[in-house]
Structure 1
Amino acid sequence: MLQLKPKQIEAVQAVNDPTVDTLVLLGVVGSGKTDVAAHIDISIALQFPKTYWPVFRQNISTAIKTIIPSYLEMADKMGLVENEDFTYNQQAKTITFPNKSVIVFVEADPTKDRGGKKIKGINASGNHIDEADELEYEMFIQATSRKGRRNEAGQPSISIVTMNPNDGWAKERYYDRWKAGTLPANIRVIEFDLSDSWLSARDIAALMTNPDWWVQRYMMNNWNFSDESTSLFKSRHWAASLTDKLEATDLRVAGYDVARSGTDRSVRALVYGTTIADILITKDKTEQIDTSVQADMLVEDTVEFEYGLNNMAVDAVGLGVGVVDALAKQGYHVYEYMSGAKSDPNVRLSALDSMPVNFDNLRSQMIYLYARGVELGIIKHYSGCPYVRELQKEAMIHNFEITDKVLKVESKDKIKKRLGSSPDLLDAVIMALYVALRPVQAFPSHGDGDGNVSVPITSGLFGSSF
């Protein structure tokens, strides 16, 4: 049976305050921001007939794997029985109740809905904007403006906003003004802390082993914390790397991280030029798909997204060999990527070297080049790319160390223990970059004779102490 904690009860009470038309829920990981929003929305739909309540997420593919299951799980926790107390239509992505109330899950992707024209046609009672900081500001405004149009039964006209106030418009619009005491009275902000979390003590302890900058922000609500000295990636560089431009004429290359069963995912990353353009999960955590079937899926994917398998790198360690072999039998030959191999002198951002550093393996080299490319503005992230926020989390959680001028990025096994899952998105992206950063004419090698490549260390990444 569902039992709400004090802050979660406060959120429910705020909805009943007629002076509040915007409820902002923010705070630590696992505090149930989305779950509380789902509880409120389902309760309103049950109580007021003909309620029409859209739930907005930037990408519908992400919503299918995240927020929709959260709503269905919350309905179960509230004692509701599917096909008796409600029905869920997977194709229409709607939850419908016997009193004709509807909760509908809507994509707010500016690349598929220019100017939010589709959203403008929605007449809603209220709305929920999940992970609002991921939305472009214009799409957010369009989404929140659609409430108060189907409230004949007395439904509250309110926008429920769940988010992490990292950077950008969301932080400036809500968090910063809330902290400064300048928010208007119609906006209520509730910030959850660890005491409100539904996570177990064991889960919290595991999360507390993450890098300090991540713990400070996502566990301690210190959203202004900026010490990311142990991470190759910096949040300010990542924010600057987001772009709305995607050149269709750029060379398209791909990377594929392979899993067959278990909790790991199979992920395809697509890069246009040096812009991370698209991420596709072909095997999710709960699925089992043979490598030969995955090979066939990739062949179909090349047709849809117009790239060649000769411009794809596939994880050629363990199960990945099955995909490589299955493609070879069909006459396709891909780059075989082995993360533990020696660094590759033909993969680099620039031919110019200044302050040299070597790498312990290829994976460390590629993660470094990825981070440095983001810092220098060479590598971009398309704002419409699915899972780009999750990709940032996976990237920034990696620590590094330099010993005797050899850079070593934290191992995948250590990351899996702290993250709770494999960094599959990041691995697929660096495999794509393994192809994208390979010049037509290889630059001269400045290695040490054993395959270790020397590249410059910039002051923005490591400071000047090396």
Structure 2
Amino acid sequence: MLQLKPKQLEAVQAVNDPTVDTLVLLGVVGSGKTDVAAHIDLSIAHKFPKTYWPVFRQNISTAIKTIIPSYLEMADKMGLEEGKDFVYNQQAKTITFPKNKSVIVFVEADPTKDRGGKKIKGINASGNHIDEADELEFEMFIQATSRKGRRNENGQPSISIVTMNPNDGWAKELYYDRWKAGTLPPNVRVIEFDLADSWLSRRDIEALKTNPEWWTQRYLYNNWNYSDESSSLFKTRFWASSLTDELDPSAQKSAGYDVARAGTDRSVRALTVGTTIADILIVKDKKDQIDTSIQADTLIEDAGEHEYGLQNLAVDAVGLGVGVVDALSKQGYYVHEYMSGAKPDPNVRLSNDAVMPVNFDNLRSQMIYLYARGIELGVIKHFKGCPYLRELQKEAMVHNYEITDKVLKVESKDKIKKRLGASPDLLDAVIMALYVALRPVQKFSNDADVDSPSGTITGGLLNTRF
């Protein structure tokens, strides 16, 4: 049975206010901002015939894993039965209500795939929902919000529902800062959720409180201007400047693959183009069970599709990862075997003449340092069209570090997992890809091609445990 809390009820009431055409929901993690938006959208589509309601997210691949399941789960909580009250079309990414011909459609707002939002311009909608709006480029956001009020002949409200975290950037300046200053126009309503509104358990909240101070101040206590990130190698300002919409087509591609260690962990492939994080793919999700041999076959197909070559792939060669490495080797493919607890590798660096300012306790600490330092120096970039960037940033920035006797030590994966309630799989896949990307070019005997068309290794062997 769905029970809304006071702030969530306030959001529903705001939609019924004819003077409000933009509703902004922001605040702490786990407060159900997206769930409330889904509840409103589903209610409107179910009640008003011929409603057309797009839900925008920067990447459709991210939407498939996040917001679409939230909508379907909310529909279940509302007592709506799939097949009877609505139909979900996975291919079309639509929730359709056959009885009144209303449609909720999930739309990608990626400027790298839709220059200037030309595809969005063709949408005539009743209203819309922009999820994680702060991830969108401002031009795409404007295009998305401008499409409402075009299919409202049956009395459905014309409103944009914006869910976001007001981090640095246009979203914070446009809504949060003006709201705090009392200068918002009367047509915009901002509702900020706090811990009292969260649907998380007390145990989960207490675990989140162990995150770095800057994170808890922002994401638990709504102190969005807090900027002390001294305990994290990754800084918000450098991350923001690392975003790019360009990829060098001539640059070497590298990949990293973090293999799930438990049923709730994920198997993740990260892809770099040069030193730009270009793509993230979740091969095994939290609830999936996929044999390592099948995961190996998936990597072979993925390497062909994205043209990175398995000789440029690093696989987590600890625990279950050994099964993936062995399955690949049986088919004649040999990869970099990455072991996070191994000794630091002096051959992996940001440039040929770079000298590390400190020592590291293990390879994982070294790679996380190089990742953060590369972002700060502008050497490592993030492609704006890469899925899961916001989640990747969160995983990166919750890692504390300390320097003792000139040895830099980053918090262990186990400690991070206890705090987050999940393994930082995205980050680990990315640093594995960088482990290959930041290595010197491999030289093989006779300068032969490592990854031959037949899938066998010629002229040399790359099967060393690093």
Aligned to 1:91: 91
Q: Deviations over 1:401-420 (max 9, x none)?
A: 11111110000000000011
Aligned to 1:173: 174
Aligned to 2:409: 408
What secondary structure sits across from 1:23 in the alignment? strand
Which residues in structure 2 correspond to 1:166-315 (within 5 Å)?
Answer: 166-259=167-260, 262-315=263-316
Provide the C-alpha distance between the structure 2 equivalents of 1:339 and 1:80, rounded to a whole number of angstroms: 46
Letter in 2 for 1:418: R
Q: Deviations over 1:370-429 (max 9, x none)?
A: 000000100000011001111000000000011111110000000000011110100000
Matched, 1:33 2:33: yes
Provide the C-alpha distance between the structure 2 equivalents of 1:343 and 1:306, rounded to a whole number of angstroms: 29
Change (3 A) 1:19 1:241: same
Letter in 2 for 1:219: L
Question: Structure 1 length as normaliser, TM-score?
Answer: 0.93
Change (3 A) 1:226 1:152: same
Letter in 2 for 1:240: S
Residue 56 (structure 1) shift = 0.6
Aligned to 1:103: 104
Provide the C-alpha distance between the structure 1 equivalents of 2:352 and 2:66, rounded to a whole number of angstroms: 43
Matched, 1:70 2:67: no
Matched, 1:48 2:48: yes
Matched, 1:344 2:345: yes
Aligned to 2:424: 423
Aligned to 1:134: 135
Residue 89 (structure 1) shift = 1.3
Alpha-carbon contact 2:261-2:319 (below 8 Å) kept: no
Aligned to 2:455: none
Aligned to 1:5: 5
Letter in 1 for 2:237: R
Provide the C-alpha distance between the structure 2 equivalents of 1:90 and 1:305, rounded to a whole number of angstroms: 24
Aligned to 2:363: 362
Aligned to 2:58: 58
Provide the C-alpha distance between the structure 1 equivalents of 2:202 and 2:32, rounded to a whole number of angstroms: 15
Provide the C-alpha distance between the structure 1 equivalents of 2:88 and 2:311, rounded to a whole number of angstroms: 42
Provide the C-alpha distance between the structure 1 equivalents of 2:385 and 2:46, rounded to a whole number of angstroms: 34
Provide the C-alpha distance between the structure 2 equivalents of 1:89 and 1:272, rounded to a whole number of angstroms: 33
Gaps of 5+ in 2: 444-466
Aligned to 2:378: 377
What secondary structure sits across from 1:245 in the alignment? coil
Letter in 1 for 2:396: A
Alpha-carbon contact 1:20-1:158 (below 8 Å) kept: yes
Provide the C-alpha distance between the structure 2 equivalents of 1:330 and 1:290, rounded to a whole number of angstroms: 16
Residue 160 (structure 1) shift = 0.2
Residue 116 (structure 1) shift = 1.1
Change (3 A) 1:356 1:109: closer
Residue 441 (structure 1) shift = 8.3
Residue 350 (structure 1) shift = 3.2
Q: Deviations over 1:237-271 (max 9, x none)?
A: 10010111111110001111112650111111100
Residue 356 (structure 1) shift = 3.3
Provide the C-alpha distance between the structure 1 equivalents of 2:273 and 2:288, rounded to a whole number of angstroms: 29
Q: Deviations over 1:264-290 (max 9, x none)?
A: 111111001110000111111111111
Residue 354 (structure 1) shift = 6.5
Residue 85 (structure 1) shift = 1.5
Letter in 2 for 1:246: L
Aligned to 1:328: 329
Change (3 A) 1:422 1:260: closer
Alpha-carbon contact 1:260-1:290 (below 8 Å) kept: no
**How many equivalent residue pairs?**
442
Provide the C-alpha distance between the structure 1 equivalents of 2:370 and 2:401, rounded to a whole number of angstroms: 13
Alpha-carbon contact 2:26-2:166 (below 8 Å) kept: yes
Q: Deviations over 1:26-68 (max 9, x none)?
A: 0000111011101111111122111111111111111111111
Gaps of 5+ in 1: 443-466
Mean Cα deviation higher: 82-91 or 135-144: 82-91
Q: Which runs of 4+ in 1 moved over 4 A?
A: 351-355
Provide the C-alpha distance between the structure 2 equivalents of 1:198 and 1:326, rounded to a whole number of angstroms: 42
Question: Structure 2 length as normaliser, TM-score?
Answer: 0.93
Letter in 2 for 1:160: I
Alpha-carbon contact 1:233-1:396 (below 8 Å) kept: yes
Let me know the Cα RMSD of the aligned residues.
1.3
Provide the C-alpha distance between the structure 2 equivalents of 1:4 and 1:264, rounded to a whole number of angstroms: 31
What secondary structure sits across from 1:146 in the alignment? coil
